[in-house]
Amino acid sequence: MHNQRNSQVKTNSRFSYLLDRIYEAPFIEIPFKHLYIENFFNDADFKEIITSDEISVPSASSDSDLIKGLKDKGYKIISFPGCITHADQYIKWHSSKSITSRTHSACEGFGMVMRLYEKRTKILIELEEFLLSEDFNRAIAEKFDIQFKDCKVDGGIQKYLDGYEISPHPDVRKKAATYMVNINPSTSSETSDHHTHYLKFKPTKDYISKFWENNEDYERDWVPWDWCETVKQQNKNNSIVIFSPSNDTMHAVKADYNHLVTQRTQLYGNLWYLKSDTKPLKWEQLQIPYKSSLAKPNWTQIAKSYVPSIVKSTIRKYLNRNDDIGKTNMN
């Protein structure tokens, strides 16, 4: 664990105390390696953040009224996983939440995310400057032994409207690190059903993370909810979770709440590797049905019959390569 800075602080910010909180936080290993820090901001800063005009917006009478109001506050609809960018299409879907409309085959719907681009409150301007600074992002990189020079930074203040869903996934390989801070303006936000789930694969599906681990040239994908089980949720306000995506960093969101009164609001950011080259592999291609029987099964034959062709091909290549190496060594 890194307890001290390896680099010199370059910015003089009111938020510099957050660096120590990151460096000094212990790693939590369940359900995967991550940092979890409650009371991330001091009380004064947090109160000023969530009571700012851009965060604590007035209630709305309809979806169209809400979206217009957020735009007036400086938010813009963004392209984001599990979301659409057309307000009219979202409003039409939200009136019935039909599961026939979805952005991914492992999901049951879609949502909309809006990012704050025009900040007018001084503390939010200062906060964005700090979150995009080298100091803050280098602290995350050093904590997780990531080469900061190999990454680019992305982040901002976001509101997630009702219906937002991203099924269990570990994040793509190009993402080096990610963080999420709850800055919900409502005092009752912790009981709302819109918080991030942190999960693990069920025993019958754990082979998928092993496949991802041993086949780094294939991209990781979202999977159905019933392939995983939730270990905990990040429902505490003013809490941060940080992790470096790996083959077991399963997390998900499925928002079901009244966004006309208040909205799920987060500080969200990532470190992205500058280079990444992977091949797509959908979750449907990794399905191996689990069967039980009273008769004594031939597990070898059953396993072979259910292994997807792409996995068989990968295994054959691996065995052939090792065989060639063995022959070379004998010669």
Distance CA 187, CA 24 (A): 28
Task: Measure the CA–CA gap between 111 and 77, rounded to whole angstroms.
Answer: 11
Q: Where are the alpha helices (DSSP H) in the chain?
A: 17-24, 43-50, 63-72, 87-94, 122-131, 134-143, 207-214, 299-306, 309-330
How high is the pLDDT of residue 81?
A: 84
The CATH code for residues 17-273 is 2.60.120.620
* Prediction pTM value: 0.84
Domain edges within the chain: 17-273, 288-330
Q: Tokens 């997390």 map to which residue? A: 251
Cβ count near 177 (within 10 Å): 23
Averaged pLDDT, groups of 10, the chain, 331 residues long: 57 92 98 98 98 97 97 95 89 80 62 95 97 97 97 97 93 97 96 97 95 95 95 98 98 95 97 91 82 47 53 59 50 45
The whole-angstrom separation of Cα 38 and Cα 241 is 9
Residue 236 CB neighbour total at 10 angstroms: 18
- Please tell me the distance from the alpha carbon of residue 259 to that of residue 176, in angstroms, as a whole number: 31
| pLDDT of res. 297 | 46
DSSP E strands, 183-288: 196-201, 228-234, 240-243, 251-254, 264-273
Residue 231 backbone phi and psi in degrees, to 5: -95, -40
**129/115 Cα distance (integer angstroms):** 15
